[in-house]
């Protein structure tokens, strides 16, 4: 009898233990698993979430060729591979362009591999794989623009009185399907002879360039406008105006490196300051223009860029005209930076003045300047 009671008691204990374990297991399964909390989406920011579960708040600048430019107040402009983006939310209207040519705009939400635009309470879904570019909508015109101002000054007194300055400024407007860019630079140098008090200018030039590009594929763009204006007293140029169109191709476009080339026909008109007898001070010529641009992000605070172009026109208009520009931009604080830029220009057939003096074919200069980006 005692053996029977002992066996029954043992079975009851084992049953209770199994039941308790099962209940605990179900209770643990019912507990919610811990998840990374999402931020509170304040409407004054755009938000991007990376595959690492990190969130950034700031402003969407643009997305093109699988690269997102995102401006953060703390981290400044960040270039992010679009494959590293798992979620994107805009506070203002964005314009998108698809590979099939479709252009639409609205509040943008990218989540769980799905792209959506919200406008007027209506949500429109698009295939993420068909997305070509993102840019601020025309409704937010100010967000489409960015620019810079650079200034370099050298003042000397005492035995030598000299003034040198360089000034450069530019702006760019980017939308989902186009890019407009304008740049201006000026170089001026003057010294004063201490014996005669005579002031002599040794450099005086201006250059204005503008271009308008239309993107119709990730790799190919059409440059509908390619304009350049140059005035250079020491090249005997009152002015030289260049008009052209071109077809461009992106050789490389990654989060750190961009490299593109372009080529197309052009037309050039030049007016010279002083020419020889029986020589025309006006020259016109059709030609061909080739160009390339390269940028590389050395570190998060240092950028390297290089640009080269050649205009092939007839000999009376200058022959082959080369322009090369390269340098480093070092970020100092916030939107201020230090720029070191080297310029090289060469005109194969410069026009002699009335005394038969031929300007030097090549000009070089190294400029150190401080800049502000906006």
CATH number, domain with residue 215: 2.40.160.40
- 39: pLDDT confidence band, cut at 50, 70 and 90? low
Q: Quote the pLDDT of residue 287.
A: 94
Instruction: Report, in this order, helix, strand and coil percent for the chain, each rounded to 5.
Output: 15, 65, 25
Give yes or no: residues 149 and 122 share one domain: no
Phi, psi of 204 (to 5 degrees): -160, 100
- Contact present, 94 and 136 (Cβ < 8 Å): yes
Q: What is the mean pLDDT of residues 266-287?
A: 91
Domain membership of residue 155 as a residue range: 144-373
End-to-end CA separation in angstroms for the chain = 95
The more confident residue out of 108 and 162 is: 108
Instruction: Identify the domain boundary among 136, 166, 182.
Output: 136
Give the pLDDT band (50/70/90) at residue 162: confident
Residue 17 lies in a domain: no
Are residues 153 and 116 located together in one domain of the fold?
no
Same domain assignment for residues 233 and 196: yes
Separation CA 70–CA 73 (nearest Å): 10
Instruction: Report the pLDDT averaged over residues 107-129.
Output: 88
The verdict on 125 and 256 lying in the same domain is no
Same domain for 310 and 290: yes
Please give the full DSSP string across 144-169, using - where no structure is assigned. GEEEEEEEEEEEE-TT-EEEEEEEEE
Residue 202 structure tokens? 């040794």
Whether residue 11 has pLDDT greater than 70: no
Residue 207 pLDDT? 94
Please report, rounded to a whole number, the percentage of residues in the chain having pLDDT higher than 90. Answer: 33
For residue 35, is it within any domain?
no
Do residues 117 and 248 both lie within one domain? Answer: no
Residues 269, 169 share a domain: yes
CA nearest 176: which of 292, 26, 65? 65
Same domain, 117 and 210: no
Among residues 120, 136, 152, the one where a domain terminates is 136
Residues 161 and 273 reside in one and the same domain: yes
CATH number for position 109? 2.30.30
pLDDT for position 26 = 45
Within a domain: residue 205? yes
H or E element that contains 78:
strand 76-81
- pLDDT-derived band at 32 (thresholds 50, 70, 90) equals low
Q: Does the pLDDT at position 45 exceed 60?
A: yes
Q: How many domains does the chain have?
A: 2
Top pLDDT among 167 and 69 is at: 167
Euclidean distance between CA atoms 59 and 39, whole angstroms? 16
For all residues of the chain together, what is the average pLDDT?
83
Task: Classify residue 5 as left (phi > 0), alpha (psi -120 to 50) or beta.
Answer: alpha
Give residue for tokens 């002699």.
Answer: 352
By percentage, how much of the chain surpasses pLDDT 70? Answer: 84
Q: Which of 97-106, 216-225, 321-330 has the highest mean pLDDT?
A: 321-330
Q: Is the pLDDT of residue 327 over 90?
A: yes
Tell me the pLDDT tens digit for each residue of 93-110: 888 888 777 888 888 999
User: Is residue 128 domain-shared with residue 202, that is, in the same domain?
Assistant: no
pLDDT one-digit tens code per residue, 231-269: 998 888 999 999 999 999 988 877 678 899 999 999 999
Same domain, 88 and 153: no
Structure tokens at 52: 């690492």
pLDDT in tens, 69-92: 888 877 777 878 888 899 999 888
**pTM assigned to the model:** 0.69
On whether residue 6 sits in a domain, the answer given is no
Based on the fold, state whether residues 112 and 255 are members of the same structural domain. Answer: no
CB 367 within 8 A of CB 152: yes
Q: Considering 117, 136, 155, which residue would you say is the last residue of a domain?
A: 136
For residue 16, being part of any structural domain is answered with no
């Amino acid at each position: 009898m005692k053996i029977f009671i002992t066996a029954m008691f043992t079975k009851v204990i084992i049953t209770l233990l199994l039941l308790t374990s099962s209940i605990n297991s179900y209770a643990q399964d019912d507990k919610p698993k811990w998840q990374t909390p999402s931020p509170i989406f304040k409407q004054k920011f755009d938000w991007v979430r990376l595959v690492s579960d990190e969130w950034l708040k700031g402003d969407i600048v643009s997305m093109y060729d699988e690269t997102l430019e995102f401006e953060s107040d703390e981290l400044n402009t960040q270039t992010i591979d679009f494959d590293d983006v798992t979620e994107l939310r805009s506070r203002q209207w964005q314009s998108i362009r698809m590979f099939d040519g479709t252009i639409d705009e609205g509040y943008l939400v990218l989540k769980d591999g799905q792209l959506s635009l919200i406008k007027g309470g209506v949500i429109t879904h698009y295939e993420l794989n068909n997305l070509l570019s993102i840019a601020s909508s025309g409704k937010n015109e100010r967000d489409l623009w960015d620019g810079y101002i650079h200034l370099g000054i050298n003042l000397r007194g005492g035995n030598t009185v000299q003034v040198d300055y360089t000034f450069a400024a530019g702006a760019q407007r980017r939308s989902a399907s186009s890019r407009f860019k304008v740049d201006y630079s000026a170089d001026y140098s003057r010294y004063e002879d201490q014996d005669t008090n005579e002031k002599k200018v040794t450099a005086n030039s201006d250059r204005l360039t503008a271009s308008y590009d239309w993107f119709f594929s990730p790799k190919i763009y059409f440059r509908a406008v390619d304009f350049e204006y140059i005035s250079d007293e020491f090249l005997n140029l009152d002015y030289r105006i260049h008009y052209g169109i071109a077809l461009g191709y992106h050789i490389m476009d990654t989060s750190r490196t961009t490299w593109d080339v372009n080529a197309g026909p052009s037309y050039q008109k030049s007016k010279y300051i002083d020419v020889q007898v029986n020589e025309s001070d006006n020259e016109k010529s059709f030609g061909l223009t080739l160009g390339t641009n390269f940028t590389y992000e050395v570190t998060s605070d240092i950028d390297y860029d290089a640009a080269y172009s050649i205009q092939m026109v007839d000999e009376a208009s200058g022959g082959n005209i080369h322009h090369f520009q390269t340098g480093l931009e070092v970020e100092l604080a916030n939107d201020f930076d230090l720029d070191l830029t080297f310029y090289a220009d060469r005109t194969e057939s410069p026009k002699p003045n009335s005394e038969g003096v031929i300007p030097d074919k090549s000009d070089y200069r190294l400029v150190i300047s401080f800049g502000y980006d906006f």
